Amino acid sequence: MFPLINIFGTEISTYVIAATAGLILSLFLAMRSARRLKVEDSDIIFLMLFMGIGLFIGGHLVYGLTNFDKLIWVFSHLNEIPSFGTFLEMLGFIFGGQVFYGGLIGGLISAYIYLRVTKRDVAKYFYIIAPFIPLFHAFGRIGCFLGGCCYGIEMNHGVVFHHSLAPGANDVPRLPVQLIEAFCNFALFGVLYYLQRKGKCQKNLIFIYLLSYSIVRFVDEFFRGDMYRGFIGPFSTSQIISLGLFVFSVGALIKISRSHRHKKTG
């Protein structure tokens, strides 16, 4: 599509534009939700900042895992690398990309640490931000479509990219899997935001999101055409993480349900 656009003589990534738009909208709506629940705007802004740090670190670390074979090669051939600068360049290539799941997990972990250290109610704050994770992600996937990355499998009468920066994406009709996932994320946002507005699922909204998205992503991966995702046997790295998140979310929801029943009977 259009990976770069020229604004006043400066080329800007359309992915960055889409992701920034999603971030601004998500932050605005999250602060509105926070006010309804008697939480200060500044608390949400600081929480988002810490999530951003975790997102950045986690996204790069998991991307490195998709290049695990290259990482092993580098450390097993240190004596063949001509200089420390070359070594850093190789690590930069290995960890240079981002994986959403790494960013998601890193962001949630950093948010949890921030909330625990500052002695805030973890469940309450996760309840506030839960609907806006898929909203932000939906805009990110639109950015992926505009940039031509994370592309789908080949198909008749699909979308043809001509200017994608991703190797192998161009001049082949492909399933617009980015837009399909964006639609699923918008739908997830709608359901979660509705539940939040109705005051439902206050302790388990974040786990409903993780459970739902893990299913979406597991299926979605079968229709991805890019090969830079890492594979363990027949499954991609993201599918393995999806299975783990699914089990974790089901366990958390069962635990919350049992705790709720115990309080009622107690």
pLDDT tens-digit readout, 27-63: 999 999 999 999 998 999 999 999 999 999 999 998 8
187 in a domain, yes or no?
no
- Structural domain boundaries enclosing 45: 37-129
168 in a domain, yes or no?
no
Q: How confident is the model at residue 257 (pLDDT cuts 50, 70, 90)?
A: confident
228 in a domain, yes or no?
no
6 in a domain, yes or no?
no
d(CA 232, CA 107): 24
Token pair belonging to 157:
């009468």
Q: What is the pLDDT of residue 127?
A: 96
**Cβ-proximal residues to 101 (8 Å cutoff; 6+ apart), any chain:** 62, 217, 237, 238, 241, 242, 245
Q: Cα torsion for 22, 139, 120, 46, to the nearest 10°?
A: -40
pTM: 0.88
Q: What is the pLDDT of residue 265?
A: 59
Answer whether residue 130 shows pLDDT above 70.
yes
One-letter amino acid at 197 equals R
Q: Cα torsion for 4, 134, 191, 217, to the nearest 10°?
A: 100
Closest Cα to residue 66, out of 103, 104, 34, 97? 97
174 in a domain, yes or no?
no
pLDDT tens-digit readout, 192-238: 999 999 999 888 999 999 999 999 999 999 999 887 777 778 898 89
54 in a domain, yes or no?
yes
80 in a domain, yes or no?
yes
58 in a domain, yes or no?
yes
Domain count, the chain: 1
